[in-house]
Amino acid sequence: MAHALGALASVSPSVAADASLRKTGFKINNNLSYNNKLWIPLSPVNLKSRFSSTKYRCKVVSMSVQQTVRSKIPVQPLELENAKEPPLNLYKPKEPYTATIVSVERLVGPNAPGETCHIVIDHGSNVPYWEGQSYGVIPPGENPKKPGSPQNVRLYSIASTRYGDSFDGKTTSLCVRRAVYYDAETGKEDPSKNGVCSNFLCDSKPGDKILLTGPSGKIMLLPEEDPNATHIMIATGTGVAPFRGYLRRMFMEAVPTYKFGGLAWLFLGVANSDSLLYDDEFTGYLKDYPDNFRYDKALSREQKNKSGGKMYVQDKIEEYSDEIFKLLDGGAHIYFCGLKGMMPGIQETLKRVAEERGESWDTKLSQLKKNKQWHVEVY
């Protein structure tokens, strides 16, 4: 699995602020204030009435402490909360839904290896989904292995909540890394071997049409029975997509039926600081919800692990292993999303840590799966 609208009139007011939204993590709306200022006055203390002698007379300075609170953003339609089961396969490869590209924005800085884009798509409220699900995308053109047939479906984890980046239930977002092939001998790019769908998406323009299938997937759905649960999220690169959706639902959106009061802990592994995805959003949550959110980054080309090698997510997991194991023993959910190559190193680390604790990792993993605490989506 890869991870991965000229704006229509019905959504254009919301989409206009999209670029700002993703930079700041919050959408501009002239009718709402997201920086309510609360003043906590400290009353002056009159010591003179207590001590009649001027010997004990003190001057007390009255102070005000300013605290900035960012309001959550209203979402609609709230009917999207009513379904008891997630929507599944509403559109299939033989009859896909034709959606429209709203915007394509480069997410990474100039020193990032490769290009990753945030793509907003208008589905007109016709392809609803839940956080943690995926869409299928059918790129244009003919299937090279089946002449006369359309291209195969490519799956992309959805990077937004069910309300989308415009908070109105009409859009979805994908996080897509452009797949580029370089010849091993010449070192030059070979366009004939580049990823068909990722390049189609990253090259798209507002107003372009896109064929969607799905939504699909249940393994990465966010369990909401306990709003005070702990969720440990481990991502490499664009595998952060579903976690962006979780975190927006937890910390950005005002959803009357879901008021998160637990702990969300995100581990994100990328090459360097320029490769960080949605970092402004995540650091904003860290500032606003320090008791409910933790955020650890593994920057393989900038940080060293304890052995002096490159820092990968499994090294961060090992660093906090005691805490993570205690949280898992207490019922925490743990999620993994990204390239399948991430899992062997993570599994080896968890097995080693378990053995050091005198536990059998196979037994523990079996129990986590049985309790539905273990969620993996790799591609």
What would the two tokens of residue 189 be?
């790019």
What are the CA-CA distances from residue 255 to residues 76, 100, 107, 120, 227 (Å)? 9, 27, 27, 21, 12
- Identical fold, 71-216 and 222-378: no
Q: Is the dihedral of CA 344, 369, 215, 233 positive or negative?
A: negative
45 vs 115, higher pLDDT? 115
The CATH code belonging to domain 222-378 is: 3.40.50.80
Q: What is the pLDDT of residue 8?
A: 33
The span from the CA of 140 to the CA of 122, in Å, is 18
Give pLDDT tens digits for 226-267: 999 999 999 999 999 999 999 999 999 999 999 999 999 999
Rg value, the chain, Cα: 24
**154-209, pLDDT tens digit by residue?**
999 999 999 999 999 999 999 999 998 887 777 777 777 889 999 999 999 999 99
Residues 6 or more apart from 184 whose CB is under 8 A from it?
none
Within the chain, strands assigned E span 36-41, 64-69, 73-74, 97-106, 116-122, 134-138, 154-157, 171-177, 209-216, 230-236, 253-254, 263-270, 293-299, 333-338, 374-378
- Nearest C-alpha neighbor of 141 from the set 154, 125, 155: 154
Q: Is 212 annotated as a binding residue?
A: no
Query: What pLDDT was estimated at residue 109?
Result: 96
User: Is 249 known to sit in a ligand binding site?
Assistant: no
Is-contact 212 135, C-beta < 8 A?
yes
Q: Which tokens is 284 given?
A: 């904003």
Is 242:266 a contact under the CB 8 Å cutoff?
no
CB 251 within 8 A of CB 288: yes
Q: Is residue 20 a known part of a binding site?
A: no
* Boundaries of every domain in the chain: 71-216, 222-378
pTM of this structure:
0.81
Compare 279 and 54 and report the one with higher pLDDT: 279
Q: Give the catalytic positions in this structure.
A: 156-157, 337, 377, 379
Is 301 flagged in the annotation as binding?
Answer: yes
Q: How far apart are CA 172 and CA 228, in angstroms?
A: 27
Closest CA to 195 of 203, 184, 187: 203
Whether the Cβ atoms of residue 10 and residue 100 lie closer than 8 Å to each other: no
Q: Which helix (H) or strand (E) holds 327?
A: helix 321-329
**Do the Cβ atoms of 165 and 101 come closer than 8 Å?**
no
Which pLDDT does position 183 carry in this prediction?
A: 75
- Domain 71-216, architecture per CATH: Beta Barrel (2.40)
What SS3 class is residue 150?
strand
Q: Is 142 annotated as contributing to ligand binding?
A: no
- Of 118, 85, 87, give the one whose Cα is nearest residue 214: 87
Omega before residue 147 within 30° of 0, cis: no
pLDDT at 67 over 80: no
Is 338 labelled a binding residue?
yes
For residues 175 and 33, which has the higher predicted lDDT (pLDDT)?
175
292-310 per-position pLDDT tens digit: 999 999 999 999 999 999 9
